[in-house]
């Protein structure tokens, strides 16, 4: 069958993948993207630190090549990400070359300049921006907000400013709030509250990105349904932006001697079931516009080093040799049957 994931599901949502610049040079990766994916998220390249390492220095090379690839293939990009507490350059929060913290005004200005440069270069291919990433922290935060340098210096206003500024610089892209563990519990409630408040104050937020770093026996179907319903009730688009299904439960810190050496059959089946449920449930909700898998094949996944460094994992749809797992043809058939 020549039909790929993106065509099998095109009547419902886009199917995307995350890539690093080097990945695109692999023939197998290129073939998989060409056949299966209609959206690409730069895994690290577009983050503040990698692309803007010094105040007056930009590192455009890798991002230009990803954007060029997207244009050539006719796929769209998710712009990931602007305001995040990780992978930010040290100059950003310092004033000049000194050790003094940057002033609030200066931080706003730096963010504005950063947005202007990125949008000027990539507006034509970026259809959605993760304007904020992971700013909510219901455990250790202040009023529910993570105590990052962004927040300590810019306060909540910088979050609102980021959306407004991005709206001006990129009038047509969809603007997203993106985070993990926001599909249930207190963190979902805090996120719904935050997004409703933004909407009530006229802040141009249009979507919520549920990252989806899950595992073989999580999440249950009900969790997926409820979260989509809660966010779409606000009038927001919902995207699953960083899906990978780990072979280990998050809190599994077994002894090294017991690490799997390959993915056990039983886990592989459960993983396939999680993927299938996700696609099927998402297809019931018009608000869901994209499911992005956080990588192409199991030879390159951040889960090899998280939450346990050096523990091999197999969370993606293609195996370590770029062969499609069985779930890929299941997903294609399921999507095609639904479109009949």
Which residues are annotated as catalytic?
134, 242
Is 290 an interacting residue with respect to ligand GLA (CB under 6 A)? no
Q: What residue has token string 């886009």?
A: 14
- Separation between Cα atoms, residue 46 and residue 18, nearest integer Å: 12
Q: Could you please report the per-residue DSSP string of 25-47?
A: GSHHHHHHHHHH-SEEEESSTTS
Site for ligand GLA in 38-67 (CB under 6 A): none
Classify 175 as helix, strand or coil: strand
How many residues bind ligand GLA (CB under 6 A)? The answer is 6
| Nearer of residues 4 and 174 to ligand GLA, judged by Cβ | 174
- The answer to whether 87 and 133 have CB atoms below 8 angstroms apart is no
| Nearer of residues 105 and 251 to ligand GLA, judged by Cβ | 251
Tell me the Ramachandran region of residue 80: left when phi exceeds 0, alpha when psi lies from -120 to 50, beta otherwise.
Answer: beta
Rounded CA Rg of the chain:
20
Site for ligand GLA in 127-186 (CB under 6 A): 133, 180
Query: Nearest approach, Cβ of 334 to ligand GLA (angstroms)?
Result: 27
Q: Give the CA distances from residue 153 to residues 48, 78, 113, 134, 149, in Å, rounded to whole numbers and listed in that order.
A: 17, 27, 17, 17, 6
| Nearer of residues 237 and 242 to ligand GLA, judged by Cβ | 242
Tokens for 28?
A: 């197998």
- Separation between Cα atoms, residue 247 and residue 244, nearest integer Å: 10
| Nearer of residues 38 and 211 to ligand GLA, judged by Cβ | 211
**Sole binder of ligand GLA in the list 62, 183, 239, 242 (CB under 6 A):** 242
Site for ligand GLA in 24-43 (CB under 6 A): none
- Separation between Cα atoms, residue 44 and residue 253, nearest integer Å: 26
**How many C-beta atoms surround the C-beta of residue 57 within 10 A?**
9
Site for ligand GLA in 255-284 (CB under 6 A): none
Query: Nearest approach, Cβ of 302 to ligand GLA (angstroms)?
Result: 4
**Sole binder of ligand GLA in the list 38, 170, 211, 299 (CB under 6 A):** 211
Query: Nearest approach, Cβ of 297 to ligand GLA (angstroms)?
Result: 15
| Nearer of residues 39 and 334 to ligand GLA, judged by Cβ | 39
Is the bond leading into 257 cis (omega within 30 degrees of zero)? no
**Sole binder of ligand GLA in the list 58, 259, 260, 302 (CB under 6 A):** 302
Query: Nearest approach, Cβ of 80 to ligand GLA (angstroms)?
Result: 6
| Nearer of residues 21 and 335 to ligand GLA, judged by Cβ | 21
- Separation between Cα atoms, residue 282 and residue 161, nearest integer Å: 31
Tokens for 70?
A: 């997207």
- The answer to whether 295 and 339 have CB atoms below 8 angstroms apart is no
- The answer to whether 8 and 336 have CB atoms below 8 angstroms apart is yes
| Nearer of residues 80 and 274 to ligand GLA, judged by Cβ | 80
Query: Nearest approach, Cβ of 67 to ligand GLA (angstroms)?
Result: 17
Site for ligand GLA in 99-128 (CB under 6 A): none
Q: Is the dihedral of CA 274, 280, 281, 287 positive or negative?
A: positive
Binding footprint of ligand GLA on the chain (CB under 6 A): 80, 133, 180, 211, 242, 302
């Amino acid at each position: 069958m020549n039909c790929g994931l993106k065509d099998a599901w095109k009547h419902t949502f886009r199917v995307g993948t995350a890539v690093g610049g080097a990945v695109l040079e692999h023939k197998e990766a290129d073939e998989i993207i060409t056949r299966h994916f209609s959206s690409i998220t730069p895994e690290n390249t577009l983050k503040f630190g990698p692309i803007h390492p010094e105040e007056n220095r930009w590192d455009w090379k890798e991002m230009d090549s990803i954007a060029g690839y997207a244009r050539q293939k006719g796929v769209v990009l998710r712009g990931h990400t602007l305001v995040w507490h990780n992978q930010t350059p040290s100059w950003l929060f310092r004033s000049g070359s000194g050790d003094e913290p940057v002033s609030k005004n200066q931080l706003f200005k730096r963010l504005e300049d950063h947005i202007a440069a990125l949008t000027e270069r990539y507006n034509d291919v970026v259809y959605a921006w993760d304007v904020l990433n992971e700013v909510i922290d219901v455990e250790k935060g202040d009023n529910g907000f993570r105590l990052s340098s962004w927040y300590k210096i810019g306060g909540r206003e910088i979050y609102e400013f980021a959306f407004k500024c991005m709206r001006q610089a990129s009038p047509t892209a969809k603007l997203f709030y993106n985070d993990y563990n926001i599909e249930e519990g207190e963190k979902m409630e805090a996120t719904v509250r935050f997004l409703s408040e933004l909407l009530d104050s006229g802040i141009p937020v249009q979507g919520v990105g549920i990252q989806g770093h899950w595992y073989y026996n999580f999440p249950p179907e009900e969790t997926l349904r409820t979260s989509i319903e809660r966010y779409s009730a606000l009038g927001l688009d919902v995207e699953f932006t960083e899906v990978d299904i780990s072979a280990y439960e998050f809190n599994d810190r077994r002894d090294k001697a017991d690490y799997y050496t390959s993915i056990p059959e039983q886990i592989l089946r459960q993983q396939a079931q999680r993927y299938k449920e996700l696609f099927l449930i998402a297809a019931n909700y018009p608000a869901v516009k994209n499911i992005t898998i956080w990588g192409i094949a199991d030879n390159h996944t951040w889960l090899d080093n998280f939450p346990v460094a050096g523990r091999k994992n197999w969370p993606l749809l293609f195996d370590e040799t770029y062969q499609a797992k069985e779930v890929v043809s299941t997903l294609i058939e399921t999507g095609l049957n639904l479109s009949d």
